[in-house]
């Protein structure tokens, strides 16, 4: 299989597949012409990666998941721990987003949204009376 076919079948851009090879997530063979020659097993791994990425796992988490997937002697506890840590990450992100949303919604609620310049949103950002609460760090 050439890269376009695996890309279509795995649902990943060819660029992404080349990148995954570069960082060692997959190791496709090479044909005499220099083209990558993907086996069924490569396709499986790529589909696996596409789904794991789709669930928000980072590349490094995907790498560990893939290693566990290929390790017949794995303990499911290890997989579960990884998944639960990721669930916690998502929970934290959601909480952070909700906190930001709540603050901003309060500001928006007080804004007339007309032609006049008076704006509690800008006032809130300028004075900090309502913005940035809840231990929300600048970002990162």
Residues that bind DNA (CB under 7 A): 2-5, 13-16, 18-19, 32-36, 53, 58-60, 138-140
End-to-end CA distance of the chain: 40
Closer by beta carbon to a second copy, 22 or else 118: 118
By beta-carbon proximity to a second copy, the closer residue of 35 and 91 is: 91
Q: Least distance to a second copy from the beta carbon of 75, Å?
A: 5
Q: In whole angstroms, how far apart are CA 56 and each of 71, 94, 99, 104, 109?
A: 22, 13, 21, 26, 32
Q: What is the dihedral of CA 90, 92, 96, 99, to 10 degrees?
A: 110
Burial class from Cβ neighbours inside 10 Å (0-12, 13-18, 19+) for residue 62 reads: buried
* Identity of the residue, 11 or 31, whose beta carbon is nearer to a second copy in the bound complex: 11
**Which of 14, 25, 43, 79 is the binder for a second copy (CB under 8 A)?**
79
Binding-site member from 4, 29, 41, 126 for a second copy (CB under 8 A): 126
């Amino acid at each position: 299989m050439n890269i376009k076919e695996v890309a279509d079948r795995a649902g990943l851009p060819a660029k992404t597949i080349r990148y995954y090879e570069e960082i060692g997530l997959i190791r496709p063979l090479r044909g005499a012409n220099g083209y990558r020659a993907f086996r069924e097993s490569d396709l499986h791994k790529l589909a696996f990666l596409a789904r794991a990425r789709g669930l928000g796992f980072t590349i490094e988490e995907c790498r560990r998941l893939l290693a566990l997937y290929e390790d017949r002697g794995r303990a499911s506890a290890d997989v579960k721990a990884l998944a639960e840590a990721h669930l916690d990450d998502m929970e934290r992100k959601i909480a952070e987003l909700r906190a930001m949303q709540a603050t901003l919604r309060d500001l928006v609620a007080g804004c007339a949204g007309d032609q006049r310049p008076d704006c509690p949103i800008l006032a809130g950002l300028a004075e900090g009376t309502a913005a940035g609460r809840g231990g929300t760090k600048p970002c990162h």
